[in-house]
Structure 1
């Protein structure tokens, strides 16, 4: 793989792969809000309907912005924080091997988002089109 491929297609692939879990989860919450409200309530959190709305907003809007490569660095930081916070709240029962795996998945996703925040969206993104001197089409 040459450097042009690395800087063009690999960041795009990373954004798409990282966004997929959030888009699928967000649209799943839209399709079955009662399940998420029940899960939030079972964790003892207040205002489960508000939690549902926040989760849908973060997952769908954040996922779409990540796919497009728009505001990528702050979105990636926000998704990293969301991954860590939700991991601790919803998968903090580390004595349960399944929950431990889910927590580690969230931690790994946060690490991936920190990489995206550090290195940006790459050349195939809306962020790259906004940079000074970037090609613009009418």
Structure 2
């Protein structure tokens, strides 16, 4: 009971809070972040900045709350893979390879959340969509 009730919340906190913190950090570093986006050759750095902040900050907070968790986790997984390829694909630099692999691992964890849902302690569960997208009843 403990594992199925509390571990999904712990997992959502451990993966959602760093995303939210990263989004907040970007808000305070607009110039540096848009310069980095432009340096890797992505088009429209201001638009990419806004999208990154929305995905990281908004997605991280929604994941923590357990709201529309499957969709949010899927978007964050795709975002993690895209940033791995765009920003961390220089494997000649060991630090970049570590960041690439970290992003791939985060995507794997997020896909687990997408597959198995938010868990008992979530808004999704209160709405009846907490596990496998179907109505669930969890004893309090």
Q: TM-score, normalised by structure 1?
A: 0.92
Counterpart position of 1:27: 24
1:35 to partner: Cα distance: 1.0
1:90 to partner: Cα distance: 0.4
Counterpart position of 1:108: 105
Counterpart position of 2:87: 90
1:96 to partner: Cα distance: 0.8
Consecutive unaligned residues of structure 2, counting only runs of 5 or more, are: 129-134
1:71 to partner: Cα distance: 0.4
Say which structure, 1 or 2, has more relative contact order (CA 8 Å, 6+ apart): 1
Per-residue displacement from partner, 1:86-117 (whole Å, max 9, x unpaired)?
10000011111000000000000000001111
- Secondary structure (helix, strand or coil) at the match of 1:93 reads coil
CA distance in 1, matches of 2:34, 2:18: 19
1:32 to partner: Cα distance: 1.2
After superposing the two structures, state which structure 1 stretch, 125-134 or 12-21, moved more. Answer: 125-134
Q: How many residues align?
A: 132
Matches within 5 A, 1:112-123: 112-123=109-120
CA distance in 1, matches of 2:64, 2:126: 14
CA distance in 1, matches of 2:125, 2:96: 38
CA distance in 1, matches of 2:67, 2:43: 32
Are residues 1:65 and 2:52 paired? no
CA distance in 1, matches of 2:136, 2:4: 18
Q: 1:130 to 1:49 in 2, by over 3 A?
A: same
Pick one of 4, 9, 14 that aligns with 2:6: 9
Are residues 1:18 and 2:15 paired? yes
Are residues 1:44 and 2:5 paired? no
